[in-house]
């Protein structure tokens, strides 16, 4: 799925917010054994009731199917992330590119942060856009996927009569809306990182003695940019200094940061983590 240009993404944002608020907060897959088909269902949190709204066709690519099933939750997560990052930018005197009130309570912020890497990576695997079609074999409306190789539309789902209008609208527009939000979140994170102080330089090596990995790890764990890196790349649920330090010890397989200076295996693991951080910071 090609990232949406920022201007297009911003133009879509009011419609994305409206659709996300009106549609059901969660969908799920359910195997209908009697009909021998995979159904996309509305899921009611309180009762656990599921209501089929579409049939996912066997030829639906895995990435498209995953995006389809998770669309409401992923859009809620992206809107929550965008609202949080825009709030931080405004707190630092940076104007937001669009004067729109973003909903901030669609999903827990920690859950949204945890979902970000999966959303970002999965959305990149979805090729082509979706559109509304018509299944001539069943006489029902459907969702079609534009094959970027052939230019032809291929059916990937059949929409059932029980599907509410707003959920149908979200279903058809899910790839475009998610691509737009991913582009906006990426841009907002880039702007936020640009305001962060540069990371501490690595201690000099060579004649002045061995590198003090423990000291550098301690410095970086206290820096916001390193905490964000650990949250995005290594699943830290909530980026703060304590959790960052815990994750560094876990990744380097040590119980104390001091072991980074005495354990060759731990030192190597730290150097690899530090190199990964430097590449991430340069490329994002």
Model confidence pLDDT, tens digit, residues 8-23: 888 888 888 888 888 8
pLDDT in tens, 118-156: 888 888 888 778 989 887 777 788 899 888 778 888 999
Residue range 260-279: mean pLDDT, rounded: 90
Q: Does residue 185 lie within any of the structural domains? A: yes
Residue range 153-168: mean pLDDT, rounded: 92
**Cα 198 from Cα 268, distance rounded (Å):** 23
Give yes or no: residues 105 and 50 share one domain.
yes
**With 0-12 CB in 10 A as exposed, 13-18 as middle and 19+ as buried, what is 10?**
middle
Beta 50-56 vs 130-135: how paired, if at all? unpaired
pLDDT band at 3 (very low <50, low <70, confident <90, very high): low
252 and 246 Cβ atoms separated by less than 8 Å: no
Alpha-carbon separation of residue 30 from 33, 36, 53, 125, 255 (angstroms) = 9, 11, 11, 23, 44
DSSP state of 158: E
Give yes or no: residues 114 and 225 share one domain.
no
Give yes or no: residues 90 and 174 share one domain.
yes
pLDDT band at 39 (very low <50, low <70, confident <90, very high): very high
Q: Does residue 201 lie within any of the structural domains? A: no
Under DSSP, is residue 133 helix (H, G, I), strand (E, B) or coil? strand
Residue range of the domain that includes 234: 213-283
Q: Does residue 203 lie within any of the structural domains? A: no
What's the total number of domains in the chain?
2
Can you read off the two tokens belonging to residue 123?
A: 């959305």
Q: Does residue 155 lie within any of the structural domains? A: yes
What does R_g of the chain's alpha carbons equal in angstroms? 22
**Cα 22 from Cα 199, distance rounded (Å):** 43
pLDDT of residue 166: 92
Give yes or no: residues 225 and 141 share one domain.
no
Residue 197 pLDDT > 80: no
Residue range 98-116: mean pLDDT, rounded: 75
pLDDT of residue 99: 60
Point out the domain boundary residue: 129, 159, 194: 194
Bridge partners for 28 per DSSP: 41
Q: Does residue 204 lie within any of the structural domains? A: no
**Cα 265 from Cα 39, distance rounded (Å):** 49
Phi, psi dihedral angles at 9 (to 5 degrees): -60, -45
Can you read off the two tokens belonging to residue 184?
A: 């906006």
Give yes or no: residues 100 and 186 share one domain.
yes
Q: What pTM does this model have?
A: 0.66
pLDDT of residue 202: 60
Q: Does residue 253 lie within any of the structural domains? A: yes
Q: Does residue 12 lie within any of the structural domains? A: yes
pLDDT of residue 67: 92
Picking from 21-30, 121-130, 200-209, 252-261, which range would have the lowest pLDDT averaged per residue? Answer: 200-209
Give yes or no: residues 233 and 96 share one domain.
no
pLDDT of residue 221: 86
Point out the domain boundary residue: 194, 225, 255: 194
Q: Which of 68, 77, 62, 135 is nearest to 107 (CA)?
A: 77
pLDDT of residue 102: 67
Under DSSP, is residue 187 helix (H, G, I), strand (E, B) or coil? helix
Point out the domain boundary residue: 194, 228, 253: 194
Bridge partners for 43 per DSSP: 50
Under DSSP, is residue 193 helix (H, G, I), strand (E, B) or coil? helix
Give yes or no: residues 64 and 162 share one domain.
yes
Sheet holding 153-159, edge to edge: 27-32, 37-43, 50-56, 153-159, 140-146, 130-135
Neighbours of 180 (CB within 10 A): 25
Give yes or no: residues 157 and 252 share one domain.
no
Give yes or no: residues 76 and 169 share one domain.
yes
Give yes or no: residues 224 and 100 share one domain.
no
153 and 145 Cβ atoms separated by less than 8 Å: yes
pLDDT in tens, 110-128: 888 888 988 888 888 887 7
Give yes or no: residues 237 and 185 share one domain.
no
**Cα 233 from Cα 170, distance rounded (Å):** 29
Residues in Cβ contact with 6 at an 8 Å cutoff, skipping those fewer than 6 apart: 97, 183, 184, 187
């Amino acid at each position: 799925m090609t990232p949406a240009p920022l201007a297009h993404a911003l133009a879509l944002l009011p419609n994305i917010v409206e659709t996300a608020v009106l549609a059901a907060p969660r969908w799920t897959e359910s195997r209908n054994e009697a009909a021998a088909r995979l159904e996309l269902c509305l899921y009611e949190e309180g009762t656990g009731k599921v209501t089929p709204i579409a049939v996912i066709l066997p030829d639906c690519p895995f990435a498209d199917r995953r995006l389809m099933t998770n669309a409401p939750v992923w859009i809620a997560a992206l809107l929550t992330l965008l609202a949080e990052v825009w709030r931080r930018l405004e707190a630092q005197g940076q104007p937001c590119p669009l004067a729109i009130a973003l909903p901030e309570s669609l999903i827990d912020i920690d859950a949204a942060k945890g979902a970000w890497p999966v959303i970002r990576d999965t959305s990149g695997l979805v090729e082509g856009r979706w559109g509304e079609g018509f299944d001539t074999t069943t006489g029902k409306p459907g969702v079609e996927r534009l094959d970027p190789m052939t230019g032809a539309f291929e059916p990937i789902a059949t929409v059932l009569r029980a599907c509410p209008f707003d959920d149908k609208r979200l279903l058809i527009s899910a790839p475009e809306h998610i691509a737009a939000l991913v582009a906006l979140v990426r841009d907002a994170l880039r702007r936020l990182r640009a305001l962060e102080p540069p990371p501490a330089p690595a201690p000099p090596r060579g004649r002045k003695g061995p590198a003090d990995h423990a000291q550098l790890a301690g410095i970086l764990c206290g820096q916001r940019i390193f905490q964000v890196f650990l949250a995005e790349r290594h699943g830290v649920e909530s980026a703060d200094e304590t959790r960052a330090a815990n994750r560094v010890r876990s990744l380097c397989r040590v119980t104390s940061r001091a072991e980074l200076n005495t354990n060759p295996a731990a030192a190597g693991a730290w150097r690899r983590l530090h190199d990964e951080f430097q590449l991430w910071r340069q490329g994002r």
